[in-house]
Structure formats: C-alpha cells, structure tokens
C-alpha cells in the first residue's frame, strides 16, 4: 500500500482551482434584477465582492471583472457555497421587493 502524499495546510483548496461560472451567472442575474438594492444586502462577504457601481452590461467584461474579484478573494469551497446560497436568498428578497 502506497502512503498518501502529504499536503501542507497551506496547499489547501484555492480559488484558482475553482470554476466560478455558476456563481458569476447568479451574481449577474441578481445585479440585473429590478428589485436589487445593494444597500439591502444581508451578506457582508457578498457586499464586498459585488462592485458598488452598476455592471457595464457587457457580459464578457462583467464576468471577467467578477472573476478577478472572486479569484483575488482567495475563496475556499465553503465560501463559494455560502456566496451561492446568499445570492439565491438575495434574489428571493429582490422578488419580494417588487410584489
């Protein structure tokens, strides 16, 4: 039986290894929603990662800007799951603001 290779705690799961496309798509959907209010965001982490200015409307440029912010934040898998859930909750609140 071969021993498992040792991984240092510093060699954890890094944002570079992740595919942020589903999260970026959800964030763009949230920001484009008519009921979106940045000041009403509940998650401080999400508020830090979403640009304060409106997205440009250019899908590729917006996605690249969000990807840089997410990669720069060095998120682990749990943080990405938390952000994905937070975006879905914020979308629900945005829908409620319109009803």
The total number of residues shown for the chain amounts to 99
What pLDDT score was predicted for residue 46?
95
pLDDT for 51-92, tens place per residue?
A: 888 778 788 888 899 999 999 998 999 999 999 999 999 999
Cα 35 to the center of its chain, rounded Å:
19
- For 2-33, letters b (16+ CB in 10 Å) and e give eeeeeeeeeeeeebeebebeebbebbbebbeb
What letter would DSSP give residue 54?
P
For the chain, the maximum distance between any two Cα atoms, rounded to a whole number of angstroms, is 62
pLDDT at 4 over 90: no
Reported as a single tens digit per residue, the pLDDT across 7-60 is 555 555 554 456 899 999 999 999 999 999 999 999 999 999 998 887 787 888
Instruction: Record the pTM.
Output: 0.78
């Amino acid at each position: 039986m071969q021993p498992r290779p040792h991984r240092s705690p510093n060699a954890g799961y890094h944002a570079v290894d992740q595919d942020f496309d589903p999260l970026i798509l959800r964030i763009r959907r949230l920001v484009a929603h008519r009921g979106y209010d940045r000041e009403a965001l509940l998650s401080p982490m999400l508020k830090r990662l979403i640009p304060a200015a409106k997205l440009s409307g250019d899908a590729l440029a917006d996605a690249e800007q969000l990807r840089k912010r997410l990669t720069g934040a060095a998120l682990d898998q749990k943080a990405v799951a938390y952000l994905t859930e937070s975006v879905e909750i914020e979308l629900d609140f945005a829908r409620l603001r319109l009803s």
